[in-house]
Amino acid sequence: MEFLDLKTQQKRIRKPLEKRINKILDHGAYIMGPEVFELEEKLADYCGVKHAISCSSGTDALLIPLMAWGIGPGDAVFTTPFTYVATAEVISILGATPVFVDVYNTTFNIDCAKLELEIERVLHEGKLKPKAIIPVDLFGLPARYRLIKKIAEKYNLKLIEDAAQSFGGAIRNEKVGTFGDVAATSFYPAKPLGCYGDGGAIFTNDDNLAEECKAIRIHGTKLDKYNSEMIGLNGRLDSMQAAVLLEKLTIFDEELEMRNEVNSYYRKYLNNAQYHPKEYQSAYALFSIVLGSNNKRENLIDRLSKEKIPSVIYYKFPIHLMKAFQYLGYQKGSLPFSENLSQSIISLPMHPYLSKADIDFIINTIQSK
Ligand SMILES: Cc1ncc(COP(=O)(O)O)c(C=O)c1O
């Protein structure tokens, strides 16, 4: 059994993908070739957003808009510590300060009441200027954007959706990618829509921001390739990866439905999974359950591995307790839900091709103590 089965998927798209790759080998436009623009158009259509700007990774998809807004030293950017490190890393890279807000222990997404308290605390303290919020759509579940948007508007903050895991998700039929000033997704191979390398995309309805992001992605250049107008990056997606994504997009909605079925089947037997509020559609990037303690988790990992059932811990270390972020001065106990989840959560196999027989076997293993 695989934690994530990319081989079955590849069999389905292999022939048309080879055709697309051969076409690239023939035309030779490996960088910014026609596949990149075709993909961007299809991604924008898919999300119902004006601009989709492909880029080299989910990390760069977060970094580039922050650069476009000029976020830097003295600025506070609010996010959660229970996420992949990239979410906070991009803030620190720019010299701005990540301010961590705890998550709900039901959805594992940013707690809106605590977010507002933290913004007020930072304002009251007067050392940093609140500039942006990066909510994370953890495991594919969109955060509470209706509330978060109100907070962003109240305090005049930019809102950037970390949709690395949630491309394909929705709230009340409104697709992920449209909730903030900008959204950032990742096409890392393990993501619901993944390429065969690194990749990402930025989504926005803001024409000016889109122009700035496009420039930053290519070394800050606009009209003249050799005359940078601002500091940028080598942040492009290559044509081969765009070709992979174009083929995967043709089966993406069907795969999303299959993931949904896997998720529902698991939930018939397990009541300790991430809570999905009504009208929120997850992209089902991961299926995670919470056990009472690290001991119980260790015990389960043992039993699963004896049966050759793979499992992974997302995330074992909350970001505020990582060595790299010690400089921020957070102590153990400061963000309790994130810390507890890190101690007790485990992710089980999740992919569109997981059979009911495999899920039955996983459930039986979990339930046979
Ligand atoms: C929540 C979150 N943010 C950001 C990223 C960064 O994406 P990438 O690995 O494509 O740079 C990831 C990817 O793992 C992620 O899960």
CA of 359 to the centre of ligand 1 (A): 27
pTM of the model: 0.97
How many whole angstroms separate alpha carbon 248 and alpha carbon 235? 22
CA of 84 to the centre of ligand 1 (A): 6
CB 46 within 8 A of CB 248: no
**Amino acid residing at 155:** Y
Which of 186, 237, 282, 312 has most ligand 1 atoms within 8 Å of CB, for mutation?
186
Q: Which residues contact 261 (CB under 8 A, 6 or more apart)?
A: none
How many whole angstroms separate alpha carbon 179 and alpha carbon 170? 10
Q: Which atom of ligand 1 is nearest to the CA of 138?
A: 1
> What is the structure's pLDDT at 368?
87
- Cβ neighbours around 332 below 10 Å, total: 10
Q: Which atom of ligand 1 is nearest to the CA of 136?
A: 1
How many whole angstroms separate alpha carbon 29 and alpha carbon 190? 26
CA of 331 to the centre of ligand 1 (A): 25
CA of 137 to the centre of ligand 1 (A): 11
Q: Which atom of ligand 1 is nearest to the CA of 57?
A: 10
Backbone φ and ψ for 75, nearest 5 degrees, come out as -95, 145
CA of 62 to the centre of ligand 1 (A): 9
Q: Which atom of ligand 1 is nearest to the CA of 187?
A: 10
Q: Which atom of ligand 1 is nearest to the CA of 285?
A: 16
Tokens standing for residue 334: 């400061």
Tens of pLDDT, residue by residue over 60-94, are 999 999 999 999 999 999 999 999 999 999 999 99
Residue 107's closest CA among 275, 335, 336, 347?
275
Q: Which residues pair with 99 in a beta bridge?
A: 78
> What is the structure's pLDDT at 288?
98
Tens of pLDDT, residue by residue over 111-145, are 999 999 999 999 999 999 999 999 999 999 999 99
pLDDT < 50: residue spans in the chain: none
CA of 227 to the centre of ligand 1 (A): 31
Q: Which atom of ligand 1 is nearest to the CA of 186?
A: 10
> What is the structure's pLDDT at 65?
98
Residues with CB under 6 A from ligand 1: 57-59, 83-84, 86-87, 136, 162, 164-165, 186, 188, 198, 200
CA of 223 to the centre of ligand 1 (A): 31
> What is the structure's pLDDT at 360?
97
Which of 54, 84, 319 has most ligand 1 atoms within 8 Å of CB, for mutation?
84
Strands (E), 38-104: 51-55, 75-79, 97-100
CA of 91 to the centre of ligand 1 (A): 14
How many whole angstroms separate alpha carbon 286 and alpha carbon 227? 43
CA of 284 to the centre of ligand 1 (A): 15
